[in-house]
Amino acid sequence: MMKSLFSNKGPFDINFIIKKTIFSKKKKFSKKKISNVSNLNESKKNDITFFENLKYVEKLKNTKASFCLIKEKFQSQLNKNCIPIISEEPLLDFIIISKLFYPDSDNDNYKFKNNIKYKNLLKKNVLVDTSVKIGTNFSVGCNTTLKKNVIIGNNVTIGSNCTISNAMIGNNVTINDGSVIGKIGYGFKIINNKLTFIPHIGCVNLLANVYIGSNCTIDRGSFSDTIIGRYTIIDNLVHIAHNVKIGSFCFIAGQVGIAGSSIIGDNCMIGGQTGISGHLKIGNNVNIGGHSGVLNDLKDGSKVIGFPSMPVRDFLKKRNNDK
């Protein structure tokens, strides 16, 4: 993940951090400053991370974090250079800790201040926050709001009625009417009988020459970034959830939904009204037919259709047998 666009209130001493948790064993450690929270894969020395999903056990073995919230039964899998913090609920404790570092990242509320540098856009009822940076040859429609933490490259076109925040937009990107980019994702837990949203400290990164259709929603990352690769073209009414990473030269048709933390390779084609479950890995050069439900990882070159998705040949054979 690139450096968070949110303000980091750390560092904090590890013992202060542990005192704030609810589900961790309150073990005393030598004084050590923790600089940041991070996921397993992108963590650095003096970071704290967590482990809960067995799908990421290889990343657990190779994490560079200094501390890891982890259930006792999994601690033998942890990198020997990373100190375990035993927790009955590692993710819930990690949410609590993340709020210490990034207290304003679990919502989209903030004090908007209009950027007088772009006051000429007020004629179109376009509002631009003081934190926004815009490159050359910028075009925008009417009634669009560019909120906090937005960096826009050159030759970018944004339509009307868009809301954009917490986003890095590359050169030659097009975003059509009504799209929402960089909002908080659909991630929450119940902690002490209280609905608690997961901090979303990541951003949306639209690389060069990406095309976004109308009325799309792309959530910013939680503990990683949401990334759309170069020259990828996305149709209208598509939802891309937090932490999703889509490769280059992909084509995604209307009403597709991609759940959180899934990874899509390069040169993929996804038919309309397809749903892709979370935490999946879709390889390169994959074709997914319309109306499909993808529940498992797909290897490079796969061609699937149906619910649950299956190889096209198997789908056609099953359909003929059902007649």
Q: Which residues contact 83 (CB under 8 A, 6 or more apart)?
A: 29, 66, 67, 68
Spatial separation of the C-alpha atoms in residues 60 and 299, rounded to whole Å = 23
Residue type, 209: N
C-alpha dihedral, 88 to 220 to 193 to 17, nearest 10°: 50
Percentage of residues of the chain with pLDDT beyond 70 = 99
Spatial separation of the C-alpha atoms in residues 24 and 200, rounded to whole Å = 22
Q: What's the CATH architecture for 116-322?
A: 3 Solenoid (2.160)
pLDDT for 317 beyond 70: yes
Query: pTM of the full predicted structure?
Result: 0.94
Residue type, 300: D
Confidence of residue 1 (pLDDT cuts 50, 70, 90): low
Query: What pLDDT does 157 receive?
Result: 98
Spatial separation of the C-alpha atoms in residues 257 and 209, rounded to whole Å = 22
Residue type, 206: L
pLDDT tens column, 262-280: 999 999 999 999 999 999 9
The CATH class, in words, for 12-101 is alpha beta
Work out whether strand 33-34 and strand 12-13 pair parallel, antiparallel, or are unpaired: antiparallel
pLDDT tens column, 242-254: 999 999 999 999 9
Query: What pLDDT does 65 receive?
Result: 97
242 belongs to the catalytic site: yes
Secondary structure letter of residue 7 according to DSSP? P
Confidence of residue 288 (pLDDT cuts 50, 70, 90): very high
Residue that the structure tokens 């060069």 belong to: 208
How many of the other CB atoms lie within 10 Å of CB of 125?
13
Percentage of residues of the chain with pLDDT beyond 90 = 89
Q: Which residues contact 265 (CB under 8 A, 6 or more apart)?
A: 247, 282, 283, 284, 285, 286, 300
Element (H, E) at 62: helix 57-62
| Boundaries of every domain in the chain | 12-101, 116-322
Confidence of residue 323 (pLDDT cuts 50, 70, 90): low
14: its two tokens: 């590890």
Question: Among 100, 146, 117, 128, which residue's Cα sits nearest to residue 6?
Answer: 100
Query: What pLDDT does 3 receive?
Result: 72
Question: Among 73, 91, 66, 86, which residue's Cα sits nearest to residue 12?
Answer: 66
pLDDT for 168 beyond 90: yes
Query: What pLDDT does 5 receive?
Result: 81
Sign of the Cα pseudo-torsion (289, 295, 301, 303, in order): negative
Spatial separation of the C-alpha atoms in residues 70 and 50, rounded to whole Å = 6
Query: What pLDDT does 320 receive?
Result: 79
Instruction: Give whole-number Cα distances, 291 to 51, 187, 274, in Å.
Output: 33, 25, 5
Query: What pLDDT does 111 receive?
Result: 83
Mean pLDDT taken over the chain:
95
pLDDT tens column, 119-144: 999 999 999 999 999 999 999 999 99
Query: What pLDDT does 322 receive?
Result: 72
Cross-strand bridge partners of residue 310: 305
Q: What is the mean pLDDT of residues 11-36?
A: 94
> Within 13 Å of residue 312, how many CA atoms lie on the same side as its CB?
9
Q: Which of 200, 242, 279, 291 is catalytic?
A: 242
Confidence of residue 233 (pLDDT cuts 50, 70, 90): very high
pLDDT for 2 beyond 70: no
Q: What is the mean pLDDT of residues 7-21?
A: 95
Query: What pLDDT does 318 receive?
Result: 80
pLDDT for 73 beyond 90: yes
